[in-house]
Structures are given as C-alpha cells and as structure tokens.
Amino acid sequence: MNYDIEEFDAIRPYHDEELPDIYEKLLASEQFLYVLNQIFPQLEKEQVRKMMNQCKTKVDFQKTFSYPFLEGVLQKTSTGIEFDHSKVKDLSKAHIYLSNHRDIILDSAFLADLFVREGYDTQEVAIGDNLLVYPWIEQFVRVNKSFIVHRGLTMRQILGSSARMSRYMHYAITVKKQSIWMAQREGRSKDSSDRTQDSLLKMLVMGGEGTLVERLQEMNILPLAISYEYDPCDYLKAQEFQQKRDDPDFQKTAQDDLKNMEAGVMGYKGRIVFRTSSCLNPRLNLLPKTCCKSEFIRMVAELIDKEIHSNYELYPGNYVAYDLLFDTEEMSDKYTVKERAHFIKYIDSQLDKIALPNKDMPFLYKKILEMYANPVANYIKATADE
C-alpha cells in the first residue's frame, strides 16, 4: 500500500533529523527546565544541552533521559517490575500492544523501559492531546516516540482524524516495522473493569487493505495485561466518581490531569507485572466470516478482553477487596490475616486523602473496593472454561 507520509506530520513522532531544533525549543521553555531540574537536580542547563545534542535518535534520548528516570521511579515507588512475554514468539516483530490502562504516563513508559532492559527497540505510543496542556509537553512526548490522538472534535472531524491515525498505525507497523502501544479504550477504566471499545477497533480497520480480518492481522495485535499492586490514583478516581454522581456536568480540568500524572508517577505501586497473550492473528481466522461488521468487531473486542482478564496478576489486596465488596470469605485462602489488615489500613489511608466538602464515605469506600475487586471478578469469568 502506498502512503502519503506528509499527512502524518501533525501527529507522528519527530524524525531523528528534526531533534536538534526540538531540543532548542525544549531548552527555551522555563517549565520544561523546572520539571527537568526536579528530576535531575545535579544537571546545569548547558550540561543538559550537551547531553541532548549527543542523542542522535529518539531511542538515544530515551536511554539518556527517560530510562534513568523510570528506573529511579521503580526503585522509589515499587518492589519490582516483571515482563512476562513467554507467549510471544518474536518480540522484535512489530506488534500493537493493546492493553488495559491504569496510569496516564507510566503504562507506556514502563513498557518502553522493559524493552530497553531486554535489548529491543522501544515502541511508539498513542497519546491523547487532552494531556498536552503546554507546548513543551507535546514536544517532549513526540521526542519520546508518541503520536497524537486528537480529541474533542466534531463528528466529521473525528472520522477524518480517525482515518488518518489508522493509516499512520498501519504505516508504522508494516513500513517502519515499529511496534505501538495503545490503550484498549479512551481514557483509563476508573473502576478497573477493563473493556475494549468497539470504536477503537473500528478505527484500526479504517486503514490497511483487504478484509476486516486481514486489516486486523496486519496490526499483529498482542493483548497486554498491566497489573499494579496498588494504584496511587485510586483515591482520585473515587473522588471523581462522587463528583460526577453529585454533578452530572462535572468535567476534570487540565490541572486535575496534571495532579493525576504526578500522583501516578510518584505514588507507591508495590509489585508491577506486564503480561502479554499470544498474537491474536490465528484466532481471528476462527471467527465467523458471515456476520456483520459490528458483530465481528464486538467478537474481537470480547476476545481481547478475555485475554487481558485471564493474564492479570492478582495480589492479596485484590482478593481482600473481592471478599469485602461481596461480603464473603470465598478468597480467604489467597491472603493472610496480616495481609487483610494491611490492605484495610491502606484503603483507610487513601480515603483520608480525599478532600470533598460532602464526603460520602460509604460510597467512596465501595468505589475503591470495586477498583481492586473487579480484576478478580473478570479473571474468574475469563478463566471459567479453562
């Protein structure tokens, strides 16, 4: 298939030859320099400039700046990270890693970090423009191999934007041989009951050539389950649930997004596991060929959901939350009395962080329990026939 690559200029990651100009734009931003100073306080501006100019590629930049930062985050906020890709035949092959979404920044960043650890090229990342609240943030993420998903468009604009993004993703996989990370839905699943949006799959089949199956197979879809033992943003998500309950017109601000980013990065996460399923391509051939497009897309979404749900890593806190939410002891063999008491204490400490004038404690408590219990319920259903 022939591509007009100039149509991707507004959304694609920067080309390596564009980096020197972008470095100067970043260094001219006082906000960027302030953030950088918080991460690398030992570096003077001219040292940063020299280090940047030595980075000839985007991966060089990631290894010089992003990788050390992420390793520091892991040391300070987790007890370790694991990458289980035992079901993937060839990790160097270009895939789209379609995953559940827990953290605005770290889901994709940790995947790139894991690729670097194992000696592979990092993946490109789909990122919503709602997070690009300052010009330097867009510049920074595009240096870090992100491409832009435009949000808040009219229906006509959405169709055009989606078609262009689909063409770009097919181009990245088939021509650039570049893997991609993308969340299975727009935004994070606030209650951790992860479901793939049909609209995302409809976008994927807008590009490429051939039948619906062939267009999806061209993307080499790998469902990826991301499991954090603790979600540092759980109290913020619970707070948002009450705000939307009390005010149906409530909308988060850019400052709210920045607060979520900061909490997600700097908050304690415990153990972290990234686990892939095998590539969906062989199983796509088994789906009925005679059904309508909408029904086919729904079956693919359900297949992705099943793979993600069955590959969750479940922690003692998940099982404790399940028993507390459903008032049962069904999972009591999965945790100790000490672990139960620790998790209850953890929830109480997170609830204390919520600052609302009309704080509905029973409602907020239930919402946090749901976030940790839903992965257990989904895992039970996904593995019931195994």
Amino acid at 325: L
Examine the domain organization and report whether 42 and 120 are in the same domain: yes
Examine the domain organization and report whether 331 and 304 are in the same domain: no
Examine the domain organization and report whether 72 and 192 are in the same domain: yes
Q: What pTM value is reported for the model?
A: 0.94
pLDDT over threshold 70, residue 7? yes
pLDDT over threshold 90, residue 311? yes
When pLDDT is cut at 50, 70 and 90, the band that residue 386 belongs to is low
Q: What is the pLDDT of residue 173?
A: 97
pLDDT over threshold 90, residue 289? no
Classify residue 171: in a domain, yes or no: yes
Q: For 150-192, what is each residue's pLDDT tens digit?
A: 988 888 898 999 999 999 999 999 999 999 999 998 877 888 9
Examine the domain organization and report whether 64 and 26 are in the same domain: yes
Number of domains in the chain: 2
Examine the domain organization and report whether 301 and 174 are in the same domain: yes
Full residue range of the structural domain in which residue 16 is found: 5-232+267-313
Examine the domain organization and report whether 288 and 364 are in the same domain: no
When pLDDT is cut at 50, 70 and 90, the band that residue 6 belongs to is very high
Q: For 365-378, what is each residue's pLDDT tens digit?
A: 999 999 999 999 99
Single residue among 313, 339, 372 that ends a domain in this structure: 313
Examine the domain organization and report whether 273 and 374 are in the same domain: no
